[in-house]
């Protein structure tokens, strides 16, 4: 998956803007996307964010690429809010590391769905070959429904002790 794949088209030229928009798009409570105002207020009033003051307008400028060089403190606060490594926002991660962060975000998004959690939890403890068969069955259903295959190899690594 390309880094920042789900970003807003407004952020086309800025890696920071793409990554921020990716987080806003994906990292939020079920059914309640965060607003710039909410994130700015939470960061500004929370002592756990290092006393950073952030305005809705400044956050909007970061997200639309009009501002691109925030202080390390602002980046740390945003990374802490979204629970991602600060290197993801700083651009210090390699492309594969940034993709890994986004895969973890997608995993968290998927785990919001109670049905997905139920399927995952029911497969715990099954032998690896049974888990592989279940993965194949799900892939067949996805193909029948013209859905993209969702990287079955990444799930297989974890079930075979790949972490």
What are the chain's domains? 9-94 (1.10.260.40), 113-159 (no CATH)
Residue 6, judged by CB atoms within 10 A of its CB (0-12, 13-18, 19+), counts as middle
pLDDT in tens, 122-137: 989 999 999 999 989 9
pLDDT in tens, 73-86: 999 999 999 999 99
Q: How far is CA 90 from CA 96, 123, 129, 143, 149, in A?
A: 15, 37, 40, 37, 31
The three-class DSSP label of residue 46 is coil
Stated length of the chain: 163
Query: What pLDDT does residue 151 have?
Result: 53
Q: What is the dihedral of CA 12, 58, 16, 52, to 10 degrees?
A: -170
pLDDT in tens, 20-75: 999 999 888 877 889 999 999 999 998 899 999 999 999 999 999 998 889 999 99
Residues 6+ apart with CB under 8 A from 76: 49, 50, 52, 86
What is this structure's pTM? 0.67
Cβ atoms of residues 56 and 37 within 8 Å: yes
């Amino acid at each position: 998956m390309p880094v920042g794949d789900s970003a807003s088209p407004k952020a086309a030229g800025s890696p920071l803007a793409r990554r921020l928009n990716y987080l806003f798009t994906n990292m939020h409570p079920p059914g309640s996307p965060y607003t710039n105002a909410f994130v700015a207020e939470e960061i500004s009033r929370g002592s756990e964010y290092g006393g950073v003051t952030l305005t809705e307008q400044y956050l909007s400028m970061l997200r639309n690429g009009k501002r691109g060089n925030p202080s390390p403190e602002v980046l740390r606060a945003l990374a802490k809010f979204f629970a991602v490594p600060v290197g993801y926002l700083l651009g210090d991660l390699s492309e594969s590391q940034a993709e890994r962060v986004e895969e973890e975000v997608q995993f968290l998004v998927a785990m919001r769905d109670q049905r997905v959690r139920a399927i995952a939890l029911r497969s715990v403890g099954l032998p690896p070959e049974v888990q592989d068969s279940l993965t194949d069955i799900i892939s067949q259903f996805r193909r029948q429904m013209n859905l993209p295959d969702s990287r079955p190899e990444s799930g297989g690594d974890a079930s075979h002790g790949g972490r």
